[in-house]
A and B are shown apart, each in its own frame.
Chain A
Amino acid sequence: DVKVTQSSRYLVKRTGEKVFLECVQDMDHENMFWYRQDPGLGLRLIYFSYDVKMKEKGDIPEGYSVSREKKERFSLILESASTNQTSMYLCASSGGDRANEKLFFGSGTQLSVL
């Protein structure tokens, strides 16, 4: 069964802290994504990666960076957490010909920045 695993379900951090959100997939997918979900705003793409060491900005990359050193792992980094980054963060992966369809999502990390 396909699996995308996010390291933490809930996370509480303080303003200004550096935050790492980890995501691992076991499907040998080329593409990995980070979204955030906010009420009334749906899912918004932060960053994505279509290959190891490659990254592309999504729609809301400000305040975030990413790292993809290995194919199965995609990390989201909040350089200096702020309260407006309190959100549900969802990692996803995909593969295949139409590579961005049928995203497989992790269970999400609910991040609270105080």
Chain B
Amino acid sequence: DQQVKQNSPSLSVQEGRISILNCDYTNSMFDYFLWYKKYPAEGPTFLISISSIKDKNEDGRFTVFLNKSAKHLSLHIVPSQPGDSAVYFCAASAGGGATNKLIFGTGTLLAVQP
């Protein structure tokens, strides 16, 4: 079963507009969430994270929102730039610790049109 779901395989937005990428999870034990960005022919790179004790975390143009009751998180990119075009993965973990592991979603391909 897919514990972390990204239901939109792709998203297209205009340069300068807001991009909103969504992620849903089913495991109520998840307490830490991350977003990774992946360009073609490169490995994913860490973008932003949020702990379950918060409902918002902001880093420059990127903001992650967490709604624990809905088991939903979203990544907002404002303003969107062509260089943001990439695949975005959300990921979640439960409890931390050396042997814990990240569960990744299936990814959303963002295309920012100039």
Measured CB to CB, the residues of A under 8 A from B are 4, 9, 30-31, 33, 35, 40-45, 48, 50-51, 56, 58, 90, 92, 97-108
Judge whether A58 and B101 touch: CB under 8 Å. yes
Judge whether B98 and A107 touch: CB under 8 Å. no
Q: Is the interface of B mostly helix, strand, loop or mixed?
A: loop
* Interfacial chain B residues near A41, Cβ < 8 Å: 106
* Interfacial chain B residues near A99, Cβ < 8 Å: 96-98, 100
Of the four ranges (under 10, 10 to 19, 20 to 34, 35 or more), the interface on chain B belongs to 20 to 34
Is the CB of B69 closer than 8 A to any CB of chain A? no
* B51 to chain A: closest residue by CB: A98
Could you show 19 A-B contacts with beta carbons less than 8 Å apart?
A9-B41, A31-B98, A42-B105, A42-B106, A43-B44, A43-B104, A45-B101, A48-B99, A97-B96, A100-B96, A100-B97, A100-B100, A100-B102, A101-B34, A101-B96, A102-B49, A103-B36, A103-B44, A108-B41
Complexed CA–CA distance, A31 and B6 (Å): 26
Judge whether A90 and B89 touch: CB under 8 Å. no
Q: Is the interface of A mostly helix, strand, loop or mixed?
A: loop
Distance in angstroms from A59 CB to nearest chain B CB is: 8
Judge whether B32 and A101 touch: CB under 8 Å. yes
Closest 5 CB pairs of A and B: A105-B43, A42-B106, A43-B104, A98-B96, A50-B98
Is the CB of B59 closer than 8 A to any CB of chain A? no
* Interfacial chain B residues near A50, Cβ < 8 Å: 98-99
* Interfacial chain A residues near B91, Cβ < 8 Å: 43
Complexed CA–CA distance, A92 and B101 (Å): 12
* Interfacial chain B residues near A56, Cβ < 8 Å: 99
Give 4 new A-B contacts, CB below 8 A, not counting A42-B104, A50-B99, A51-B98. Answer: A42-B105, A45-B102, A99-B98, A102-B49
